[in-house]
Chain A
Amino acid sequence: MQELSEEQRKQLEEKLKNMSPEELRDFQKQQCIFCQIISDKVPSKKIYEDESCVAVLDINPAAKGHMFILPKEHYIVMPQIPDKIVSRMFLVARNLSQVLLKVLRVDGTNIFVANGLAAGQRSQHFMIHLIPRKAEDGLLKIEEKLLDQEMLKKIKLAVENRLNHVLGIKKEVVTENNVDKVSEEELEENADDTDEADEVEDKEEVEERKEKSEEPEKKHERKKSKGEKEVSLDDIANLFK
């Protein structure tokens, strides 16, 4: 990100506010290095390309052969991407995984997706990482621990209802306590924000937080109450500072 003076920042903000959605999209594309890679304005090591996606070798690889698959359209996070393109990209990832296994003679591959800064997303352009793996290479250490049964019930309740809603299934999961949200304090290890606990009860505030966390969902029914509002460039830019 470029360093801007106060004045330059204000000018930029004004400019952005007056842009139409198409102009904003073009502006985003200009700022996005991955869009520039896709359009060959910036040199890169492209392994594969088709109508909807591109596979490129990572210049900061976790291992030899590490590549990522990008959608040609500029999307920031996965929920924004239409199903057709999601399935296309992951099929390409699967086929390229097979190529990696054959060519590099490794015995494993990881597919890694990060949605959101907290998940380790490092760029504003959505990507699927495909990483070849060898035993004891020290990457992506996942140490699992036993899940408490009480926690399992709460999670099931919270997620299942939401998932049914997203998938359009009319089914309500009910328990004696009628709790439909997991309290954040129980899930968070460092509960330092008392504000967050309040937000749990307030749906309106939850939607605001959602926008700040840069995951706009266009098909989301709850959005009806707030209208079709897209995440502003400022919010996204602020997160990446």
Chain B
Amino acid sequence: MKCEYCDIVDRKSRLQILYEDNDLIVAVKDTVLTPGQVTIFPRQHFTIMEMVPENILEKCFILANKVGAAIFDSLECQGTNIIVQNGLSAGQKVPHFALEVIPRRDGDNLNFQWQPKELAEDEVELVYQMLKEEVGKIVKSKDGKKGKVKEVEEVVVKDEKTLMKMQKEDEKNYLLKSLRRIP
């Protein structure tokens, strides 16, 4: 009973639920942008996308693809949007990772378009270099792990406790940043 979505998971009334399995729920929320909007979220409570384990995240998006197709057929709309609001400033209202599948029609008065921003060339170049560097580091470290599997495993076992401590601290910091107040 941590949040609105956990409530849907626990709820005895299954009126809102369209599909559920061991990991995921597909449901219709109380408040929506447009009729036909469907929300997909994991049963387990994860605040943001970065915290969701890979296997569950994969299932989420594969299911979203199928739900999109089902909505397109059954509601005879002309398109679908899939949106993830990750973090408070991204519009996340419930602190439980979820994705929205939204049916679209011509003239539905929904506008997700953005005005392209004029950014200075050097600013863009700087961002590009910074992002590339960070991605490069991650790819390297993953490649490195592949080569030296045994050694890495031993290290992990020894430092597991410190690793978990570090992860918890990171989580806390992130939570503090992105979630100001939870009622």
Binding site for B on A (CB under 8 A): 45, 47-48, 57, 60-65, 67, 78-79, 81, 83, 86-87, 90-91, 94-104, 106-121, 131, 133-137, 139-148, 151-153, 155-156, 158-167, 169, 181-182, 184, 186-190, 192, 196, 199-200, 206, 209-210, 213, 215, 217
Contact = CB atoms under 8 A, between A and B. Distances in A.
7 A-B pairs with least C-beta separation = A116-B79, A108-B87, A119-B79, A108-B90, A60-B116, A87-B58, A162-B74
Contacts of A186: 35
Interface in B36-93: 36, 38, 49-50, 52, 54, 57-62, 65-92
Interface string B155-167: 0000000000000
B33 A120 contact: no
A225 to B, nearest CB: 14
A107 B88 contact: yes
B81 A48 contact: no
A181 B68 contact: no
A111 B89 contact: no
B31 interface: yes
Given A102-B134, A118-B79, A140-B91, A90 B123 contact: no
B38 A159 contact: yes
A81 B119 CA distance: 33
Given A151-B35, A158-B75, A109 B81 contact: no
29 contacts: A64-B117, A83-B62, A87-B62, A90-B58, A94-B49, A94-B50, A97-B50, A107-B88, A109-B87, A110-B86, A111-B83, A112-B81, A112-B83, A114-B81, A115-B79, A135-B89, A143-B33, A144-B31, A147-B30, A151-B35, A152-B15, A155-B36, A159-B38, A159-B71, A161-B74, A162-B70, A165-B70, A188-B108, A192-B107
Nearest to B66: A166
B90 A109 contact: yes
Given A86-B62, A107-B88, 5 more contacts: A97-B86, A101-B174, A113-B83, A115-B68, A213-B79
Contacts, number: 272
A217 B72 CA distance: 11
Interface stretch (B1-9, B125-133, B144-152): B125-133
B153 to A, nearest CB: 22
Interface centre among B83, B104, B112, B124 (most CB of A within 10 A): B112
Given A57-B124, A116-B80, A158 B74 contact: yes
B74 A182 contact: yes
B82 A113 contact: yes
A215 B16 CA distance: 27
Contacts of B73: 162, 166, 206, 210
B119 A96 contact: no
A140 B79 contact: no
B25 interface: no
A207 to B, nearest CB: 10
Contacts of A94: 49-50, 52, 57
B178 A167 contact: no
Given A113-B83, A116-B78, A118-B78, A156 B15 contact: yes
Contacts of A86: 61-62, 65
A110 to B, nearest CB: 5
Contact of A110 (B90, B111, B134): B90
B30 A63 contact: no
B117 A61 contact: yes
A95 B119 contact: no
A64 B127 contact: yes
A187 B132 CA distance: 45
B89 A142 contact: no
A106 B18 CA distance: 34
